[in-house]
Amino acid sequence: MAITLRRDNPVKTQDIQNWDPFREMQSLLRFDPFREMRPFFGNFTVPEMTFNPAFEVKETKDAFIFKADIPGVKESDLEVSVTGERLLISGKREEEKKEESDTVYTWERSYGSFSRSFMLPHGVDTAHARAELKEGVLTLVLPKLPEVQPKKIAVKSEKVKA
């Protein structure tokens, strides 16, 4: 019995360079194995996908900035709170009313409640935090306290006498 060794590499270097593990994980988390089978279920109800908005968190020199894509979420259905060093952002997107006479060919939009929690580092000025909901994007700015912001220290050198 002979074992055949493959010498060619099926994975191209270009594929490895373009591979993004975070994008791959996000696509796996949104994977719905029953999506293609929904037309065959008839009146059987399939659990709806939950609404899970994507967040972007970045740190600048002066603040921490949180951005979330939450189209269709009303300001009244959104809650942002800070308890200790924990930031909690929660809300809900209501499902549109379905009419019995409507024929739905695909249902890919997700609805429901969401809740995201973030641990904040020491030195966040929560008293001056501000949040804005504009065009479906939530922007939350949490400034840093002045005492934890980086300060430049001047370096002096001694003059050497000859």
Q: What is the pLDDT of residues 30-48, one digit of tens each?
A: 666 666 666 666 555 545 5
Domain architecture of the chain: domains with CATH: 48-95+111-147 (2.60.40.790)
In this prediction, residue 56 carries a pLDDT of 95
pLDDT at 14 over 90: no
Residue 87 near residue 120 (C-beta atoms within 8 A) = yes
* Better-predicted residue by pLDDT, 49 or 68: 68
Percentage of the chain surpassing pLDDT 90? Answer: 38
**Rounded CA separation 67/138 (Å):** 5
Percentage of the chain surpassing pLDDT 70? Answer: 74
